[in-house]
Structure 1
Amino acid sequence: MNRRPGNVASIPSAKHKPALHSKRYALDDMIAAQEFFHSRGWTDGLPVMPPTPEAVQDCLEWVLMPPDHLVGIEPVRQRPITVEKLAVNAVMAGCLPMHFPVVVAAFTAMLQETFLLHGATASTGGCAILIVVNGPIRTELGMSGTFNALGPSDRATTVIGRAIRLILCNLLDARPGDVDRSTLGHPGKISYCVAEDEEHSPWLPLAEERGIPPQASAVTVMAAGAPRQFMNEWTMQPEEILDTYIAEIRANMRHYSIWPGNYAIVVPPQLRAHFERAGWSKADVRKYVYRNARIRRAEWAECGKGSVVGERGDREYTALRDENDLLVIAAGGPAGGFGAVIPPWYGNKSRAVTMAIGACVDCEV
């Protein structure tokens, strides 16, 4: 059987398509559909594509899954998530069938207990779900890891990230003021998806570093704060470039959360060239950041938090529990000494998860 990217199961032939289970509504036109969905609270405030039965079936056929296929169960509230419900929201977000395997893989990764999905989506801390895409599927979908890598960059990354947000709202009630209790939030909650720029990077792709076989497509999901952008065009030394990243990490530890977790750093081509010239790998980058991204509790007194220092001012805190906690992402436009740090949601409560797209269990070969 020929398989499209992301196929994980088989469904009956087109003559015997399983019936969809979602409730259906008859609406007169596109404008009426928009107002209906907005009135039900089923959107993110932006227009949506009406999820017609044909569009939903097309997504299911692309991944060869029946509508009632159980993607997983939300660990805290034990809410079952079927692939049909994912497809409905993916269509609403603007996904084509070819985008759907990435959505399925990303949400499957988010359902893993170590990700702590309920905590990340219910917190007042305002994180969003960052999705990093690796492998051949990036080029198949026309994803761009160069200009505007963190958005807006291309159709695929935008609609995939948006699909995850609509799924959270409509399947897990993670709407503002409902389950989502975020004080401020950030724009990544609308869409937060990036494709790694593997073609122009001297480094191993993120997914391969995290155990995915070479040439396989994969997603990494992380409960993440907003990107903290900086510029350093005044050095070619890897240590000095990383000191700028570390300054942003330390600022996050001082101003947001002192606890260690999965930090991500985004390294565009101009900065990557300096690391390549010096022979630095991603492992070298992680090692340097792990050793140096630390603060002492006394530093909290410098930013209005002196009351919590007490007699523990000399206590040292690390940004990373170990070197592998740092996600190094090669992405960004070709010019400018810019970079970004993406901090975790409240330390190590949620762990980044990497999953192959189309990984299947008990599939027929």
Structure 2
Amino acid sequence: MTPDDIDVWVGLDVGKSAHHAHALDRDGDTLYDKPVRQDEKAIRSMLGKLSKHGRVLLVVDQPNTIGSLPLTVARDMGIAVAYLPGTAMRRTAQLLPGDAKTDRRDAHVIAWAALKLPETLRDAGSDDETLAALRMLAGHDEDLAHESTRHINRLRSLLLQTHPAFERVLKGERATRDATLALLERYGGPAGMKRAGIEDVKDWARSNGLRAGRIIDDMFKAIGEQTVTVPGTLMAETIIPSIARDIKAIKDRRREVGRQVEKLLGDHPLLTVPASMPGIGVRTASNIPLGIGGDIANFKSAAHLAAYAGIAPAAGQSGTSIKGERPSRRGNKRLRNALWQTAFVASTKHPPSIAYYKRKREQGKHHNAAVICLARRRCDVIYSMPKNGALYQEPALVA
């Protein structure tokens, strides 16, 4: 549907209990300017009245969560829907008189942008059930990841306060390995392990099927480096086991989410295809279609997709004194992060990608710039695979 097909532009500033709707006709005259309850009957009634004036376009400022019901009702009524991103909305508001921040003005800004600046609108997302389920799982997994980070930081803080040498042993992912968490849950920390002795700790680990010989040796070496007991150590080692249990539980829940996502991957072609590419795991494969909006046809070319993701360089030029390119600061955050992460993983695991990354570093590019270059190259492949319905085939990457 093109702007010429629309007769009524409805801006909806969504809220938890009520929305504010503002409708404009082709001449920019107001047809409707009232609050609407977050209720199917009220939304359907409002859209039904406006449909009497012609074809309606409903534009929201949040396509998910509290904006889901209005979009679903509109789609059920055969009404076109769109989404106005926050950045575009703020910039549009600067073009209009006044600087008040009210629901009524925001709804007017959305409707005015839809009428006068249709190029600022974005697809409101697919009503595909698989993508909707995937979006919820991705949000839940992000919450779990944040919760896990908070627990890990607390664990490290307690160990750093009571036994810094022991905390240094658990660098990187060592602190969250199943064996490490099991030992901390069992013994509480360095003091508890010291009381038990290295042989008893190793015997317990073997009897429970833990492959922890090396880390136990490193732990006891660190324990031997500190002879004093920092005040609060005993209390810390009563707290650490519960934190370790919480981290284990969160890891188990994230594994279950991963299994659910993997099951969804097999039910949707746009999810299956990216996952065949080196460097793209289950979670990343889910974020790519969510960032794209569920349909690769929304993008005219790979360059369009790269620009939307914010990994295409932004040119800077003014007369003869300023000329060059810089990384874009815009783009879809979810998609940009997913493409960057896959490129980073590929630059360490995938031989052709490693060679490409090294060439970019040899050309004088910094690490992040080299990874972005690789992400941009891989974006061409990610675009073409679902477009052609083909799985990944090993290309020859050249600079």
For the superposition of Structure 1 and Structure 2, which TM-score range results when normalised by the shorter chain?
Answer: under 0.3
Higher strand proportion, which one? Answer: 1
TM-score, length basis structure 2? 0.24
Answer 1 or 2: higher relative contact order, Cα 8 Å, separation at least 6: 1
TM-score, length basis structure 1? 0.26
